[in-house]
A and B are shown apart, each in its own frame.
Chain A
């Protein structure tokens, strides 16, 4: 009976799993927000007990309640960090990576309450508060990550306008090839502008430039301005090359803007991990220092 029962339960589970993957379900809404509810109840419970439990003389990380929250919080932090290892081994089932991620997100949020109540709002310039600050930064960066994952992919696909990234690069190359050919008749000064344009590497943008996005002053725009404005009155029909170069520079600028916008959205999408991951590791170090120092100077 027992084996039959478990098999039936297993097949039911597989069915649910199948249904779940058939219609895409975000890790946020996984199992009808199960982990969101768990986290919400946990946070509420902690806030209520914090208010109701009478700790003398005041709430403090060293009271029995403080130690309890501290132990739970430290355990949570270690478990949450474990996602970095766990994510490399996707498995199905109730502990699927999606479920794990869902729990990671929501339990991570509840850590704001657990960690802060553990401090008893006694903060200062010390290693203990360092751990709390790092934890808050990690959670904030994570929350940012969730937010951009929920909103930016649409902007990303709108910006792509059905083009792949390879096609964008290819398009730029095509424009460059045309530009080089079209610029042959140009005078030295103009040609130099075009050379600078062709030598411009749109991907060499630094961190700040990536976040700034499209519209920045660059070689292409300088060439465009140079040829457009400096020669506004030479716009005669004879100078076809100039017109052609101008048109191509315009196209190039537009293409670069699209690439830049793509990079900008990507940067906004990816930057949180550069805070989240190193700070998590730093947090683990600070947590170790916090726990050891508390008991070293007990």
Chain B
């Protein structure tokens, strides 16, 4: 028995080289080891892999020499019997051994080998990062679609498609995914609108309208009529003018619109007060543009602000008010007599008296008489009963241990009380006669029948310059009878500004109000502009103790003026600053 081994190799050009050799014996060893009959130079093949032995009936028995199986005709085997006459292929790695029977009965084993490819010239592309990265084009498309979808298509589509296009719509009728359009958080006042952009941005590509603001801010008053606003505005810078020109072309409402001063999306917190510049745009040299204005020019509190003006009662006995300039010489006429300096002295009789009374300190202080209004902006009118009467007693009689006191504020009542006072000594009704027993003076049934001359004297005395009333009041005659001038006191002095006393709590009263040196009640103890400027300077005065914008004292929109004591508390929508010129000099 012998095997004919036919090895077929290929040259580099592809030509076949066929070599035949014969192996004698009953056993054909196949493997990687060079001692095998057929050497299969493939590392995946065992050193001794397969042993082929002929069986009696001319068949071949293939058996694995070791643990590894082999592939015969496409199936894995550890042992198989094959008929070489019918052919068969043993696959070992890249090698294929086909079995056939030669005419002379020998078994022909044809050994062919697949060429292993080492290296791939195309592999140079593998050096490039491109072979490992996802394509740029795909990444770009994904990015574009995501961004345009999430940040443009969804909000616009949901905005156009919603059925109820009301500004304050809720739920499904709200524009979806427009949060990403917000340039910043809304101020605290508008916080509830944070997720409701369409409440203000009503129409696509239409800027926020004043009417939208006013749909909530119904009671806000106009600063001035629109044409006056436009006329008051100073010249704009080139850039700003250009911007407005462009903006108005595209439908912005103009520099007088709400949104010009009130910018939103500036971050959570209080809405920023409008900057000084928005005021000074008009109020700087405004008299050159609005020749009929009653207002002084102003553009910076520290450098350009008119002298302060106060609303005062100007004439004794009249409730008519007048605005006076606080130049240090301003006077008011409350109808009272009151030397502040004497009352604030720490050494005189007033101080001595205060020291002796319960509820007072070593000397009087402002708050002994003045109490703030509920908003702590101003002070309430001083009341005789609570502020003065502890010292300035109106007691006129004593019954047992109880004092009888005149009623303050009502001259007729005082007159009646004093006339009816029966303990004042009267001239006896009869002369030389005395009533007997208990009817005599001092007796239990004594009755004074004399004329009440002393009573009338007492009234006249009380209402005189030096009397108990005249101590504080200015005597006068009303309808032929002695009386006093009525008193008028103000609880606020500024017409167009507010002053918050609470914010100035750490200051002494006298650092602004020169009460400790004032000897007359007509002294208007209001500070001048210079006094304010000791601390307050304009918004840009960084070195000032308190850089102050206009909005610190002034409100653009007409505030609650309470022009009369019984005036309405609610803001007056009809009130506009332009009307001031009509009421010039008067409140």
Measured CB to CB, the residues of A under 8 A from B are 53-54, 56-58, 60-61, 63-65, 67-68, 122, 124-128, 130, 165-166, 169-170, 172-174, 176-177, 180-181, 183-188, 191-192, 194-195, 198, 202-203, 205-207, 210, 259, 262-263, 266-267, 270-271, 273-274, 277-282, 284-286, 288-289, 292-298
Specify which chain A residues have a CB less than 8 angstroms from the CB of B278 in the assembled complex: 56
Q: Mark B99-118, 1 if CB is under 8 A from A, else 0.
A: 00000000000000000101
B148 touches A289 (CB 8 A): yes
Candidate in B130, B180, B240, B275 with the most chain A CB atoms within 10 angstroms: B180
Q: A54, A174, A280, A288: which contacts B118 (Cβ < 8 A)?
A: A174
Q: A206-B132, A293-B178, A293-B180 are in contact. List 11 more A-B contacts (CB 8 A).
A: A58-B266, A67-B246, A127-B151, A166-B121, A184-B34, A203-B131, A205-B132, A262-B127, A270-B129, A282-B143, A293-B152
Shortest beta-carbon distance from A268 to chain B in Å = 9
Known contacts A126-B182, A191-B43, A281-B140; A298 and B207 CB within 8 A of each other? yes
**How many angstroms from the CA of A203 to the CA of B136 in the assembled complex?**
20
Shortest beta-carbon distance from B251 to chain A in Å = 8
Q: A64, A271, A297: which contacts B178 (Cβ < 8 A)?
A: A297
A207 touches B119 (CB 8 A): no
A271 touches B129 (CB 8 A): yes
Candidate in B147, B182, B207, B263 with the most chain A CB atoms within 10 angstroms: B147
A289 touches B123 (CB 8 A): no
10 interchain residue pairs of minimum CB distance: A173-B119, A203-B126, A282-B143, A64-B243, A173-B118, A281-B140, A278-B139, A297-B201, A289-B151, A278-B140
Q: B44, B116, B143, B243: which contacts A285 (Cβ < 8 A)?
A: B143
Question: With contacts defined as CB atoms under 8 Å apart, how many contacts are there between chain A and chain B in the complex?
Answer: 175
Q: A67, A169, A185, A273: which contacts B123 (Cβ < 8 A)?
A: A169
B127 touches A263 (CB 8 A): yes
**Between-chain CB contacts (< 8 Å), 9 pairs:** A63-B243, A125-B180, A192-B43, A195-B43, A203-B127, A266-B128, A286-B151, A296-B159, A298-B208
Q: B33, B140, B159, B239: which contacts A277 (Cβ < 8 A)?
A: B140
Residue of A nearest to B126 (CB): A203
A207 touches B133 (CB 8 A): yes
Shortest beta-carbon distance from A265 to chain B in Å = 10
**How many angstroms from the CA of A122 to the CA of B267 in the assembled complex?**
9
A286 touches B147 (CB 8 A): yes
Specify which chain A residues have a CB less than 8 angstroms from the CB of B277 in the assembled complex: 54, 56
Residue of B nearest to A164 (CB): B124
Shortest beta-carbon distance from A182 to chain B in Å = 10
Residue of A nearest to B152 (CB): A289
Q: Does B502 contact A (CB under 8 A)?
A: no
A184 touches B32 (CB 8 A): yes
Q: Does B47 contact A (CB under 8 A)?
A: yes
Q: How large is the interface on B (under 10, 10 to 19, 20 to 34, 35 or more residues)?
A: 35 or more
**How many angstroms from the CA of A192 to the CA of B45 in the assembled complex?**
10
Residue of A nearest to B124 (CB): A165
**How many angstroms from the CA of A165 to the CA of B250 in the assembled complex?**
61
A166 touches B124 (CB 8 A): yes
Known contacts A270-B129, A274-B129, A289-B147; A183 and B43 CB within 8 A of each other? yes
Specify which chain B residues have a CB less than 8 angstroms from the CB of A262 in the assembled complex: 127
Known contacts A130-B147, A285-B147; A292 and B123 CB within 8 A of each other? no
B120 touches A169 (CB 8 A): yes
Known contacts A63-B243, A288-B148; A126 and B181 CB within 8 A of each other? yes
B118 touches A128 (CB 8 A): no
Q: A63, A180, A187, A282: which contacts B147 (Cβ < 8 A)?
A: A282
Residue of B nearest to A206 (CB): B132
Q: Mark B235-253, 1 if CB is under 8 A from A, else 0.
A: 0000110110010001010
Specify which chain A residues have a CB less than 8 angstroms from the CB of B445 in the assembled complex: none
**How many angstroms from the CA of A253 to the CA of B119 in the assembled complex?**
15
Q: Does B400 contact A (CB under 8 A)?
A: no
Q: Does B558 contact A (CB under 8 A)?
A: no
Q: Does B170 contact A (CB under 8 A)?
A: no
Specify which chain A residues have a CB less than 8 angstroms from the CB of B275 in the assembled complex: 56-57
Shortest beta-carbon distance from B143 to chain A in Å = 3
Residue of B nearest to A187 (CB): B47
Known contacts A57-B272, A174-B118, A297-B178; A292 and B152 CB within 8 A of each other? yes
**How many angstroms from the CA of A174 to the CA of B124 in the assembled complex?**
16
Specify which chain A residues have a CB less than 8 angstroms from the CB of B54 in the assembled complex: none
A297 touches B197 (CB 8 A): yes
**How many angstroms from the CA of A54 to the CA of B156 in the assembled complex?**
35
Q: Does B155 contact A (CB under 8 A)?
A: yes
Known contacts A64-B239, A207-B132, A274-B136; A124 and B151 CB within 8 A of each other? no
Q: Does B206 contact A (CB under 8 A)?
A: yes
B43 touches A169 (CB 8 A): no
**How many angstroms from the CA of A193 to the CA of B205 in the assembled complex?**
70
Shortest beta-carbon distance from B156 to chain A in Å = 7
**How many angstroms from the CA of A284 to the CA of B140 in the assembled complex?**
10
Q: Mark B149-180, 1 if CB is under 8 A from A, else 0.
A: 00110011001000000000000000000111
